[in-house]
């Protein structure tokens, strides 16, 4: 039952995020109270929560939630669950660590391409979380590309994307987690939410 409640809260948060971001944030916080306790994480809830954080353009919180999501699901994730997570993680890194962002951007694009070739009869768990997420996730990937190229140059940006595209999902997950502060994996997620609320990340 908590899983269904968490998914409902996050789905509603995604629906209202553009025109009522404060309401979306309140719904997200409520879902994280239910899904983010250590040892009691709901992986699908964390994944949709990181989508909400990305929709709100709260990149520090997005980084926290993508880290938790990857840590929890890394051994049984499907491509169309992994790709948005890598995409938003890349955008969260883009302004401060463009080299990491460039690699993860390449991994995200490669996994999206792989997933697009999956059989049409794939089970619901293997499909994208929701169509509402498509535009802003891909927009975040494009933003990442612009930021990385501006910081490092077009040639280096292409090289980094190539490195990421050559990785398996497990390699990309290991790479992302190796570059994320381990403190983001400690304690209840809601504690991290409170910390990021006191230090908002600029757009």
For residue 130, give every residue at least 6 positions away whose Cβ sits within 8 Å of its Cβ, in sequence order, or none. Answer: 11, 14
Residue 54 belongs to some domain of the structure: yes
Residue 199 belongs to some domain of the structure: no
Residue 197 belongs to some domain of the structure: no
pLDDT by residue for the chain (203 residues), tens digit each? 477 888 899 999 999 999 999 999 999 999 988 876 666 677 788 889 999 999 999 999 999 999 988 888 876 778 888 999 999 999 999 999 999 999 999 999 999 998 887 555 444 344 444 444 447 999 999 999 999 999 999 999 999 999 999 999 999 999 999 999 888 877 777 666 666 655 554 45
pLDDT of residue 191: 66
pLDDT of residue 135: 79
- The whole-angstrom separation of Cα 42 and Cα 136 is 23
Two tokens, residue 123: 């089970």
Two tokens, residue 198: 């006191």
pLDDT of residue 198: 54
Question: Which residue, among 94, 107, 96, has the nearest Cα to 161 in the 3D structure?
Answer: 107
Range of the domain at 64: 1-119+130-192
Residue 124 belongs to some domain of the structure: no
pLDDT of residue 201: 47
Residue 158 belongs to some domain of the structure: yes
pLDDT of residue 84: 93
Question: Which residue, among 174, 184, 189, 192, has the nearest Cα to 82 in the 3D structure?
Answer: 174
For residue 109, give every residue at least 6 positions away whose Cβ sits within 8 Å of its Cβ, in sequence order, or none. Answer: 141, 161, 164, 165
Residue 202 belongs to some domain of the structure: no
Count up the domains in the chain and report the number.
1
Residue 35 belongs to some domain of the structure: yes
pLDDT of residue 51: 95
Burial 137-170 (b: 16+ CB within 10 A, else e): beebbebbbebbbebbeeeebbebbebbbebebe
Under DSSP, is residue 74 helix (H, G, I), strand (E, B) or coil? coil
> What is the pTM assigned to this prediction?
0.82
Residue 198 belongs to some domain of the structure: no
pLDDT of residue 129: 43
């Amino acid at each position: 039952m908590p899983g269904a409640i968490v998914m409902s809260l996050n789905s509603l948060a995604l629906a209202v995020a553009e025109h009522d971001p404060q309401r979306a944030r309140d719904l997200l916080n409520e879902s994280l109270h239910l899904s983010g306790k250590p040892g009691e994480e709901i992986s699908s809830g964390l994944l949709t929560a990181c989508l909400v954080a990305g929709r709100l353009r709260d990149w520090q919180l997005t980084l926290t939630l993508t880290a938790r999501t990857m840590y929890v699901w890394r051994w049984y994730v499907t491509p169309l669950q992994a790709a948005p997570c890598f995409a938003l993680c890349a955008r969260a890194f883009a302004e401060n660590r463009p080299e990491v962002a460039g690699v993860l951007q390449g991994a995200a694009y490669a996994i999206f391409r792989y997933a697009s070739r999956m059989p049409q009869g794939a089970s619901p768990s293997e499909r994208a979380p929701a169509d509402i997420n498509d535009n802003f996730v891909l927009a975040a990937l494009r933003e990442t590309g612009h930021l990385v190229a501006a910081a490092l140059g077009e040639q280096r940006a292409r090289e980094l994307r190539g490195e990421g595209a050559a990785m398996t999902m497990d390699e990309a997950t290991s790479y992302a987690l190796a570059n994320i502060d381990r403190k983001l994996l400690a304690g209840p997620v809601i504690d991290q939410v409170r910390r990021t609320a006191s230090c908002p990340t600029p757009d």
